[in-house]
């Protein structure tokens, strides 16, 4: 991918609506490990980001790579993960935007992770591939932070049970899926037939066991924060993410071939 084309895409996306790549959610880049102007880390980081973006149209919506030379501390390791229900074009648009944004938010940090609604990018000066990591994690209510539209402890307990049970079933689906991604719609009498939507995803370099562990911890964190009393919530970590809502937020995928 040429630098001119890369800059052209970034410029065009800056002028477009965030609908193309979803909303910014969170970023993390500790200032404990930084690089200087004379360091070769920056050109290696920029090379890595171009490599990631140039692979945005892969069928699986996931890619990892390294860039750098002989000095291990100057090597940059990174990956991207697009939400599993996205088209190739939507994945590409998100990654172009996020690649531009992360260098603005984390200009001199060697470790960075940024999450948007549709995709995430992560890079570091150490190799984290195939490692289950749950720190840092970020928790967020749904956009309007509303509670479920019913009152009473009995209703909340029933709703919390539905959320917890659905998430546990979702963990199994995600961990065993080829793309480490799954969605689930549940219907329950306590919501008068209204569907309950949930989504889970792991980075595809994780093993089935590690993906299961990551999502299980995410489910426990959601429950410990009383997220189940809300209409929706999302939990983001470096290796996996989970989300639920009473409003649809993903594109339904066809069932896998039997």
Q: Do domains 3-124 and 138-245 have the same CATH topology?
A: yes
**Spatial separation of the C-alpha atoms in residues 258 and 255, rounded to whole Å:** 8
DSSP-assigned beta bridge partners for residue 195: 187
Q: What is the pLDDT of residues 115-133, one digit of tens each?
A: 999 999 999 999 999 999 9
Q: Domain 138-245, what architecture?
A: 2-Layer Sandwich (3.30)
Model pLDDT, residue 11: 47
Please provide the average confidence, as pLDDT, over all residues in the chain.
Answer: 84
Task: Please check whether residue 196 is in contact with residue 177, taking contact to mean a CB–CB distance below 8 angstroms.
Answer: no
Model pLDDT, residue 16: 46
Q: Using the predicted structure, report yes or no on whether residue 35 has a pLDDT greater than 90.
A: yes
Domain boundaries of the chain, sorted by first residue: 3-124, 138-245
Q: Encoding tokens for residue 66?
A: 């390294």
Model pLDDT, residue 144: 52
Q: What is the pLDDT of residues 171-218, one digit of tens each?
A: 999 999 999 999 998 877 666 667 889 999 999 999 999 999 999 999
The packing angle between helices 41-54 and 88-105, to 10°, is: 160
Model pLDDT, residue 229: 61
DSSP-assigned beta bridge partners for residue 67: 76
Q: Using the predicted structure, report yes or no on whether residue 152 has a pLDDT greater than 60.
A: no
Q: Helix, strand or coil for residue 150?
A: coil
What CATH number labels 3-124?
3.30.430.20
Model pLDDT, residue 111: 97
- Cα torsion for 82, 15, 77, 29, to the nearest 10°? -100
Q: What is the pLDDT of residues 161-181, one digit of tens each?
A: 777 888 999 999 999 999 999
Q: Which of 26, 60, 95, 92 is nearest to 205 (CA)?
A: 60
Total-model pTM: 0.86
């Amino acid at each position: 991918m040429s630098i001119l084309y890369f800059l052209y895409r970034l410029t065009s996306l800056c002028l477009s609506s965030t609908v193309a790549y979803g909303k910014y959610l969170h970023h993390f880049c500790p200032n404990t490990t930084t690089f200087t102007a004379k360091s070769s880390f920056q050109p290696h980081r920029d090379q890595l980001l171009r490599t990631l973006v140039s692979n945005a149209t892969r069928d699986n919506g996931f890619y990892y790579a390294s860039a750098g030379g002989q000095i291990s501390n100057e090597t940059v390791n990174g990956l991207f993960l697009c939400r599993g229900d996205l088209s190739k074009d939507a994945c590409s648009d998100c990654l172009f935007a996020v690649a531009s944004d992360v260098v603005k938010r984390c200009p001199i940090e060697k470790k960075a992770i940024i999450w948007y609604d549709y995709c995430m990018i992560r890079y570091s000066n150490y190799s984290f591939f195939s490692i289950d990591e749950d720190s840092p994690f970020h928790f967020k209510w749904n956009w309007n932070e509303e509670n479920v539209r019913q009152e009473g402890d009995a209703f909340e307990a029933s709703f919390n049970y539905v959320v917890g049970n659905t998430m546990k079933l979702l963990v199994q689906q995600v961990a065993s899926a080829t793309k480490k991604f799954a969605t689930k719609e549940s219907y329950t009498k306590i919501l008068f037939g209204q569907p309950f939507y949930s989504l889970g995803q792991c980075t595809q370099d994780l093993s089935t066991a590690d993906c299961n562990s990551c999502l299980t911890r995410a489910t426990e964190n959601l429950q410990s924060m009383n997220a189940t009393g809300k209409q929706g919530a999302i939990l983001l970590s470096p290796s996996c993410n989970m989300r639920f809502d009473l409003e649809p937020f993903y594109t339904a995928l066809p069932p896998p071939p039997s």
